[in-house]
Amino acid sequence: MNDEYSEIPCPRCGAYTRIDRIFCLRCRHRVIPLTPYDIVVDDFIYPSDRDGIESIKDLEPLPQLVKHFFIEKKLNLLRSQLVRESIKVKSLSSLDSIIRKCGIMLGLKVLPESFIISSDIPQAFTFGTDEEPMLVISSSMLEIMDEEELEAVIAHELGHVKSGHLVYHTLAELLVQGASFSFSLMGLNMITEPIRLLLLAWHRDSEISADRASILVTNDLDVIKSMFSKLIKQSERGFERVEILNSISELFKTHPTYLNRIKKLEEFYNSVEFKNARKKIEKRIMLLRAISPICRFCGAKKPLLSVFCPSCGRSQI
């Protein structure tokens, strides 16, 4: 059945990719365009997260400066460090298939460049920019999670990518570390305490949106609960902070926050908003079968995304 899939050139890098892969095997950008059936941020974003992002946008040019002067520089350093010290996730490996599946379900524009670091601490985080996201996952995370839980972890991370959180996360994390000094070196004396508090509060709210992305993909609260409880068990073993990369890593928070996150997830899971977004995802998955440049019945050429063949009129799904 898979042999029927044709290959098309990536609009960005020109490499040929089988259409059912959706994302280019070389540059990870979409080869199949987004459609009205793909999930958009408004389908799942937590309202306080959306409001927070609006307020942070008012801080421009600060976020742009952080992006250009910090993230883009750090991204190259981090990439060379990861290339030296970690394993790049191979295209079409089982982990890549989970990342790809989550990327398809969440309608990403580009899949993150993904790496596995060797670490006893189960962690996963995203870093970078909307155009160039990066996902790092630790070896122990892969060891302790089963496939469904891993999907929940990755969908959470890709939820951050989809929501456009990456640059703002870094901005918030820099402020937590008391980066005011380097900001003043950059000529930015605009970081006041209220701004700091705004960013910190927003950071917590952004987690709720990422959890929502996770439940949209897994569609199973128990999977997310067991994923959380494994992380809590590990964190009780006494680690606090992570060695390399600690400034940009995200640790799942412990009990009270965890319970709050579950409560928020349950509310979302039982909402009309969730049901509508899930319907959209299911429809999208069904329509994926129609993606082909030729009709599966008569072999005539058809527009890539159209469900009905213009020659024989038959539905492709």
- In Å, how far are 52, 87, 225, 230, 262 from 268, measured between CA atoms? 19, 36, 14, 22, 10
The reply on whether position 13 binds Zn ion by CB under 5 A is yes
Nearest CB to Zn ion, comparing residues 15 and 259: 15
Which member of 9, 298, 301, 317 binds Zn ion (CB under 5 A)?
Answer: 298
Q: Within 10 A of 4 (CB to CB), how many other CB atoms are there?
A: 9
Stretch binding Zn ion (CB under 5 A), from 143-151, 223-231, 233-241, 294-302: 294-302
- In Å, how far are 138, 248, 254 from 238, measured between CA atoms? 17, 20, 12
- Which H helix or E strand runs over 9? strand 7-9
Phi-psi region of 180 (alpha: psi -120 to 50; beta: other; left: phi over 0): alpha
Q: How far is the CB of 147 from Zn ion (least distance, A)?
A: 20
The reply on whether position 231 binds Zn ion by CB under 5 A is no
Nearest CB to Zn ion, comparing residues 298 and 317: 298
The reply on whether position 45 binds Zn ion by CB under 5 A is no
Q: Within 10 A of 51 (CB to CB), how many other CB atoms are there?
A: 13
Nearest CB to Zn ion, comparing residues 12 and 196: 12
The reply on whether position 53 binds Zn ion by CB under 5 A is no
The string of DSSP letters for 35-64 reads -TTS--GGGT--HHHHHHHHHHHTTTTHHH
Number of residues near Zn ion (by CB under 5 A):
16
Stretch binding Zn ion (CB under 5 A), from 94-102, 142-150, 213-221, 307-315: 307-315
Nearest CB to Zn ion, comparing residues 93 and 311: 311
Stretch binding Zn ion (CB under 5 A), from 6-14, 56-64, 70-78, 267-275: 6-14
Q: How far is the CB of 272 from Zn ion (least distance, A)?
A: 25
Q: Rule CB under 5 A: which of 146-205 touch Zn ion? A: none
Q: How far is the CB of 12 from Zn ion (least distance, A)?
A: 5
Q: How far apart are CA 171 and CA 66, in angstroms?
A: 7
Q: How far is the CB of 249 from Zn ion (least distance, A)?
A: 10
The string of DSSP letters for 235-291 reads HHTT--S-STTGGG--PPP-HHHHHHHHHHHHHHHTSHHHHHHHHHHHHHHHHHTT-
The reply on whether position 309 binds Zn ion by CB under 5 A is yes
Q: Rule CB under 5 A: which of 18-37 touch Zn ion? A: 24, 26-27
Q: How far is the CB of 309 from Zn ion (least distance, A)?
A: 3
| Beta strand 16-18 pairing with 113-117 | unpaired
Q: Name the β-bridge partners of 113.
A: 134
Give the residues lining the site for Zn ion (CB under 5 A): 10, 12-13, 15, 24, 26-27, 207, 210, 295, 297-298, 300, 309, 311-312
